[in-house]
A and B are shown apart, each in its own frame.
Chain A
Amino acid sequence: MKIFYLDTSSSYLSTGIVENDHIIDQVFIKLDKDLSSFTLPKIDEMFRKNNIQPNEIDQIIVVNGPGSFTGIRIGVTIAKIYACFLEKQIKTVSSLEAMARSVPEDQDYDYVLPMIDARRGYVYGAIYDKDGKELKKESYIQKEALEHDSLLENKKVIVITNDSIDTKYPQVPYDLNLLRVVEGSYDKPFISPHAIDANYLKKTEAEEKCQNSTN
Chain B
Amino acid sequence: MKDIYILGIESSCDETSCAIVKNGQEEIATVISSQIDIHKQYGGVVPEIASRHHIRNISIVIEECLEQAHMTMNDIDAIAITYGPGLIGSLLVGVEAAKTLSFLYQKPLIPVHHIVGHIYANELKEPMHFPLMALIVSGGHTELVYMKDHYQFQILGKTLDDAVGECYDKVARVIGIPYPGGPQIDRMAKVGKPTYHLPIPLNDDSYHFSFSGLKSAVINLVHKETQRGNPIQKEDLARSFQDVVTSVIVKKCKQALTDYPVNTLIVAGGVAANSGIRNGLKELCQDKQIHLSCPEIRLCTDNAAMIASAGYYAWKLGKRGDLTLNAKSNVDLQ
Residues of A within 8 A of B (CB): 36-41, 43-44, 54, 69-70, 73-74, 76-78, 80-82, 84-86, 193-194, 197-198, 200, 204-207, 210
Contacts A41-B324, A85-B73, A193-B59 hold; do A198 and B92 have CB atoms under 8 A apart? no
Flag if A78 contacts B100 (CB, 8 Å): yes
Flag if B42 contacts A194 (CB, 8 Å): no
B89 interface contact, C-beta 8 A: yes
Flag if B324 contacts A73 (CB, 8 Å): no
* Residues on B with beta carbons closer than 8 Å to the beta carbon of A38: 324
Flag if A78 contacts B96 (CB, 8 Å): yes
Q: Looking at the complex, which of B43-51, B127-135, B156-164 is the stretch in contact with chain A?
A: B43-51
* Residues on A with beta carbons closer than 8 Å to the beta carbon of B42: 206, 210
B197 interface contact, C-beta 8 A: no
Q: How many residues of B contact A (CB 8 A)?
A: 33
* Residues on A with beta carbons closer than 8 Å to the beta carbon of B115: none
- Other-chain contact of B101, A73, A81, A210 (Cβ < 8 Å): A81
B60 interface contact, C-beta 8 A: yes
Give the CA-CA distance A86 to B101 in the complex, in Å: 10
B46 to chain A, nearest CB (A): 4
A49 to chain B, nearest CB (A): 15
Give the CA-CA distance A74 to B51 in the complex, in Å: 11
Flag if A197 contacts B55 (CB, 8 Å): yes
B249 interface contact, C-beta 8 A: no
- Other-chain contact of B48, A37, A44, A86, A204 (Cβ < 8 Å): A204
Flag if B73 contacts A206 (CB, 8 Å): no
* Residues on A with beta carbons closer than 8 Å to the beta carbon of B55: 73, 76-77, 80, 197-198
Contacts A40-B99, A80-B59 hold; do A200 and B104 have CB atoms under 8 A apart? no
User: A44-B323, A200-B52 are known contacts; what are 10 more A-B pairs with Cβ within 8 Å?
Assistant: A69-B48, A70-B89, A73-B51, A73-B89, A78-B99, A81-B62, A84-B63, A85-B101, A85-B105, A206-B46
B56 interface contact, C-beta 8 A: yes
Q: 0/1 per residue, B204-221, Cβ < 8 Å to A? A: 000000000000000000
Contacts A43-B103, A210-B42 hold; do A36 and B327 have CB atoms under 8 A apart? yes
- Other-chain contact of A40, B49, B59, B93, B323 (Cβ < 8 Å): B323
* Residues on A with beta carbons closer than 8 Å to the beta carbon of B52: 198, 200, 204
Give the CA-CA distance A41 to B89 in the complex, in Å: 20
Flag if A54 contacts B104 (CB, 8 Å): yes
Give the CA-CA distance A74 to B268 in the complex, in Å: 31
Give the CA-CA distance A210 to B42 in the complex, in Å: 8
List residues of B (38-97) whose CB comes within 8 Å of A's CBs.
41-42, 46, 48-49, 51-52, 55-56, 58-60, 62-63, 73, 89, 92-93, 95-97
Flag if A77 contacts B58 (CB, 8 Å): yes
A88 to chain B, nearest CB (A): 10
Give the CA-CA distance A136 to B8 in the complex, in Å: 44
Give the CA-CA distance A80 to B89 in the complex, in Å: 17
* Residues on B with beta carbons closer than 8 Å to the beta carbon of A193: 59
Chain A, residue nearest B93 (CB): A77
Contacts A36-B327, A81-B62, A206-B48 hold; do A70 and B100 have CB atoms under 8 A apart? no
Give the CA-CA distance A208 to B60 in the complex, in Å: 28
Chain B, residue nearest A205 (CB): B48
* Residues on B with beta carbons closer than 8 Å to the beta carbon of A206: 42, 46, 48-49
26 A–B pairs (Cβ distance < 8 Å), ordered by A: A36-B96, A36-B327, A37-B326, A40-B99, A40-B103, A40-B323, A54-B103, A70-B51, A74-B96, A76-B55, A78-B99, A80-B58, A81-B96, A82-B100, A84-B62, A84-B63, A85-B59, A85-B62, A85-B63, A85-B101, A85-B104, A193-B59, A198-B55, A204-B48, A204-B52, A206-B48
Give the CA-CA distance A37 to B324 in the complex, in Å: 4
B327 to chain A, nearest CB (A): 7
Give the CA-CA distance A162 to B58 in the complex, in Å: 31
* Residues on A with beta carbons closer than 8 Å to the beta carbon of B97: 77, 81
Flag if A36 contacts B92 (CB, 8 Å): yes
* Residues on B with beta carbons closer than 8 Å to the beta carbon of A77: 55, 58, 92-93, 96-97, 100
A116 to chain B, nearest CB (A): 18
Please name the 4 residue pairs, one residue from A and one from B, whose CB atoms are nearest each other, closest first.
Answer: A77-B96, A81-B100, A206-B46, A204-B48
Give the CA-CA distance A55 to B63 in the complex, in Å: 18
Give the CA-CA distance A70 to B56 in the complex, in Å: 14
Chain A, residue nearest B91 (CB): A36
Give the CA-CA distance A36 to B327 in the complex, in Å: 8
B229 to chain A, nearest CB (A): 30
Give the CA-CA distance A38 to B95 in the complex, in Å: 12
A93 to chain B, nearest CB (A): 17
Chain B, residue nearest A76 (CB): B55
* Residues on B with beta carbons closer than 8 Å to the beta carbon of A44: 103, 323
